[in-house]
Amino acid sequence: MIRFLLFSIILCLTLQLSAQSFRATQQKASRVKDAYTEKWEGLRSELKKKGINENFELFMRVFKEDKLVEVWLKSKGEKEYKLFKTYTICASSGELGPKRKQGDGQVPEGFYSIAAFNPYSSYHLSLGVSYPNASDKIIGKGNLGGDIMIHGSCVTIGCMPLTDTYIKEVYILAVEAKNNGQQTIQVHIFPTKMDEKGMKFLADTNEKNLDFWKNLKTGYDYFEQKKQLPKFTIDKSGKYFFSEK
pTM here is 0.90
b/e 11-45 (16+ beta carbons within 10 angstroms → b): eeeeeeeeeeebbeebbebebbeebbeebbeebee
Q: How far apart are CA 131 and CA 115, in angstroms?
A: 9
Summarised one tens digit per residue, pLDDT across range 189-242 is 999 999 999 999 999 988 899 999 999 999 999 999 999 999 999 999 999 999
User: Model confidence at 141, in pLDDT bands (50, 70, 90)?
Assistant: confident
Instruction: Report CA torsion sign: 165, 166, 169, 172.
Output: negative
pLDDT at 157: 83
pLDDT at 116: 97
Task: Name the catalytic one among 12, 151, 154, 188.
Answer: 151
Annotated catalytic, 159? Answer: yes
Residues 85-93 have a mean pLDDT of: 94
Contact criterion met (CB below 8 Å) for 54 and 182: no
Residues 131-156 have a mean pLDDT of: 94
Residues 133-155 have a mean pLDDT of: 94
Q: How far is CA 91 from CA 22, 66, 95, 120, 185, in A?
A: 30, 12, 12, 21, 23
pLDDT at 7: 44
Phi, psi of 16 (to 5 degrees): -65, -45
Instruction: Report CA torsion sign: 191, 194, 198, 201.
Output: positive
pLDDT at 20: 58
Task: Name the catalytic one among 124, 154, 159, 188.
Answer: 159
Question: H or E element: which one contains 233?
Answer: strand 231-234
- Distance, C-alpha 37 to centroid of its chain: 23
User: In the predicted model, what is the mean pLDDT of the chain?
Assistant: 92
Annotated catalytic, 151? Answer: yes
Judged by DSSP in three states, 75 sits in strand
Instruction: Using a pLDDT cut of 70, give the percent of the chain over it.
Output: 91
> Per CATH, the architecture of 21-243 is what?
Beta Barrel (2.40)
Q: Is the pLDDT of residue 244 over 80?
A: no
